[in-house]
A = this chain, B = another copy of it.
Amino acid sequence: MDSKTPPGHHTPHHSPTADVLDDLRGAVGETQVLVGTGLEAYERDWRKRYHGHALAVVRPGTVAEVAQVVQVCAHHGISIVPQGGHTGLVGGGTPDNSGAQVVLSLQRLKRVREIDTDNLTMTVEAGCVLQAVQAAAAEHDLLFPLSLAAEGTCTIGGNLATNAGGTQVLRYGNARDLCLGLEVVTAEGQVLQGLGGLRKDNTGYALRDLYIGSEGTLGIITAATLKLFPMPAATLTALATCANPSQAVALLRLARTRLGATLTGFELMNALSRELVAHHLPQIPQPLWFGATSGEASRDAGAARPCPAWSVLLEQSDEQGPEQAQMRLEALLAEALEQGLIDDAVVAKNLSESRELWHLREAIPLAQAEEGLNIKHDISVPVSRIPAFIKGTDALLQTRHPGCRLVNFGHLGDGNLHYNVQAPVGQSAARFLAEQEAAVNQLVYDAVMAHGGSISAEHGIGALKREELTHRKDPVALALMKRIKAALDPQGLFNPHRVV
């Protein structure tokens, strides 16, 4: 990108581009219209898969300024790529290569406008970092439960625009379920006043839900009213091992029955997921493997005693305090052992052990990256279909792509797997991807569709899956989506060529 100066930077005044930049500067001030070099953070996604080139990066500081920017762009017919923390995984927030798009960064809109402790709501601006939202709630001893790996960088506006998922969906739902109201700038640069902490409001169409998950293609979310929850008195974590996914599904069913809504997390990991963590991150303890919870694990030691075939991480958040919570969790695990659903289990004795268990799960993406490039899938199927999906798809992959390795982990409680395919041992990952990625994707997505699933459970469509979506989504749904896009953004200003 550095090799090319964006159009407009050195062009004489009164050119069309200069007019646009002048109008944008009029809207947000000289210093908040960035052009030229040094804009990598805005023009390249963090995984370095998408590298674009913007006319300008504009950083409004208020919703009125956002509206003005949209009006300027609408007037000049310039398309807009809204951007939050720029942590997306599907290229939805990176400008294209035309040098003709404006990146509209929401990062300066980061006020917490209100916390209403009796209504259990907070109203925050789109650019608030997720972790800051969690922290602002925690100051009042309240919980904002959305939690995901990028929470130190991603913004709540981006979370809502992509309907983010994460590790607490089983109990609290996706970002959509945590939002009661939105403020949105429309394609005409008007402000939709939809904030407010109402739990019931049946006055017309669900505009809020339409904007949530639309990935910046229908409007620009500038603020949101979010649900909060009393902070649970105790949060406990356990690790259990079992022989196959059917047992994991049966354990989930039992856990939901015994723990109800206090079951807040239920994560599945296959053996290879844990083996890669043990190999690349040996400092992380590997309980229920070598019979020890200390950090002695290594791949070689594991050869003698193989890694458990499947591991489940359970989290329970209980209002009744730690003793009651531990009693319930241990009773559940004892019952599961008795029923033969699990082989072994360990409950974290303190916060530090609990963090270690989560670390085991959260280190998998890093460990697999260390192992080499792989073919990622963020898929969901009904929970009841998980065992058949895994068995059938694993087998088919082995037949058609012999030796390929499955790094299979994810949010079993939501039917959501990160079902990633790694090159066979000793084979070049780059070559494997180049030669087999298309066929692997086809195979996996065919299986997902056969089980009534989704090709994007929580990461969205963006640029990455837009073409695939045209083959996989109900054509009636696709046609309706296009009509909605045309109705709400007739000029096609907002994030063109994304989603639809």
Contacts and interface: CB of A to CB of B under 8 A. Distances in A.
A480 B203 contact: no
B414 A119 contact: no
A84 interface: no
A207 B457 contact: no
A454 interface: yes
A320 B332 CA distance: 11
A138 interface: no
Contact of A476 (B176, B190, B203): B190
Contacts of A120: 253, 256, 383
Contacts of A457: 198, 200-202
A134 interface: no
Nearest to A208: B209
B118 A162 contact: no
A172 to B, nearest CB: 10
A320 to B, nearest CB: 7
Nearest to A500: B204
A95 interface: no
Interface stretch (A340-348, A424-432, A466-474): A466-474
Interface string A476-492: 11101101111110000
Interface string A105-135: 0000000000011111100000000000000
Nearest to A451: B196
Contact of A483 (B259, B319, B415, B487): B487
Contacts of A218: 205
Contacts of A450: none
A469 B205 contact: no
Nearest to A196: B452
Contact of A202 (B177, B259, B318, B454): B454
A65 to B, nearest CB: 18
Size range of the chain A interface in the assembly: 35 or more
Contacts of A473: 203-204
Contacts of A177: 173, 177
Interface in A424-480: 452-461, 465, 469, 472-474, 476-478, 480
A192 B256 contact: no
A384 interface: yes
Copies per complex?
2
Contacts of A411: 200
A197 B414 CA distance: 10
A268 to B, nearest CB: 14
Interface string A254-280: 001111111000000000000000000
A384 B225 CA distance: 14
A202 B257 contact: no
Nearest to A411: B200
A312 interface: no
Interface string A285-309: 0000000000000000000000000
A424 B481 CA distance: 53
A104 interface: no
A380 B204 contact: no
Contacts of A477: 192-194, 204, 207
A204 B414 contact: no
A260 B230 contact: yes
A492 B343 CA distance: 60
Nearest to A460: B202
A83 interface: no
A113 B17 CA distance: 59
A206 B200 contact: no
Contacts of A243: none
A459 B199 CA distance: 14
Given A201-B380, A382-B116, A319 B461 contact: no
23 contacts: A118-B249, A118-B383, A119-B384, A121-B382, A174-B200, A186-B480, A192-B474, A197-B452, A198-B453, A198-B454, A199-B416, A200-B416, A200-B458, A203-B461, A203-B469, A204-B500, A205-B480, A205-B485, A206-B213, A257-B319, A261-B261, A483-B488, A484-B487
**What 5 A-B pairs have minimum CB-CB distances, sorted nearest first?**
A261-B261, A209-B209, A118-B384, A487-B487, A260-B319
